[in-house]
Amino acid sequence: MKDILLDKSYAELCALVAEAGEKPFRARQLSEGLLHGKKLSELPVSSALRARLAEQFEEEPVRIERVFTARDGTQKFLFALADGNLIEGVLMKYKYGNTQCVSTQVGCRMGCKFCASTLGGLVRNLTAGEILGQIVAVNRLAGGGLKEKRAVTNVVLMGSGEPFDNYENVVRFLRNVTDGEGFGMSARNISLSTCGLADKMRRFAEEGIPLNLTVSLHAVTDAERARTMPVANAFSIREILDACTLYFERTGRRYIFEYSLIAGENADMVHADALADLLRGRPCHVNLIRLNAVKERSLRAADERMAQAFLKRLLSRGISATLRRSMGSDIGGACGQLRASYLESKKSGEPKA
């Protein structure tokens, strides 16, 4: 596999253009062409520069393989990478704009029992350009431009993979996507979800990127958390909370906890009270999630009555909380479900529409 041009920052593109003996304005042409989702052969640069780039870089590192549209308008994408691997992403449409969920790895090694992404383990990390490539591909398909003309207005790193398990590439992506000379997205329009790698959370607090930090909690004790999240054997809830405190101190940004409501596991009033006690006084928000059933797992989602009762109890205890609206469930809403289904159907010779 060749290198990926979207990995490079604007400053690095300027250096590349200079090394090629081209005039400085070519760097702007190159950057804008890439961020509009153009292939190398479509870039509005000189033929000599285009030929030189083709020797070293992939023509199209991220390609939209298929698009699935849900009844509620949510779009889910299968992306093909240059090496043949597949990843997936989602575009969710809200009144305030369009939010794209992107993947950071092919597969995942975290082993969370409510997630389909981890079923096949980790295949490989994505580069910064492959993460950004998902956004520019969807933005182009939706007719978007750059900066205030983007069709993709918000990004969440909540697709396949654990972002902090691919730390260097993810941080490079974040710096590139927020670069005012590039895509120009505000860090406040970006959310990153981690399963709780506390050491990387502390490191990230020092990076100076004030995005919305989201932590998959899903339990109120370490023992309960370990039943569904193997990462709990490496980092305790206390270590995670301490890392969140550091993040708030460094950025001034409140943090968010995701809590999937699992019937018979963590969705009763005892757990609601325990969660309220755990988070009382913290500058945080709780995002309650209706569990997406994964056929390979035995976990069951809490019903609507239980979900609403859990939310009501948190609110009555002074905890900021919401119940996430379910979107795209009819096209495989959970992370990894669509990719797994598509790969399975391809084996049988009948790709699903």
Positions marked catalytic: 88, 335
**Residue 193 is which amino acid?**
S
Question: What secondary structure letter does DSSP report for 78?
Answer: E
Length of the chain: 353
Phi, then psi, of 77 in degrees rounded to 5: -120, 140
The secondary element (H helix, E strand) that includes residue 124 is strand 122-125
| CA dist list (Å): 143 to 79, 116, 139, 317 | 18, 31, 6, 45
The Cα–Cα gap between 257 and 265 comes to: 17
165: nearest Cα among 127, 207, 209, 200: 200
Integer Cα distance of 234 and 273 in angstroms: 25
For residues 283 and 257, the answer to whether their CB atoms sit within 8 Å is no
CA distance 123 to 271: 35
List Cβ neighbours of 311 (8 Å cut-off, separation of 6 or more). 288, 321, 322, 323
Find all residues with CB under 8 Å of 300, minimum gap 6, and list them: 262, 263, 264, 291, 293
Which letter, b or e, does each residue of 173-184 get, where b requires 16 or more Cβ atoms within 10 Å of its Cβ? Answer: bbbbbbeeebbe
338's tokens: 């669509």
Q: Whole-angstrom distance between the N-terminal and C-terminal Cα of the chain?
A: 29
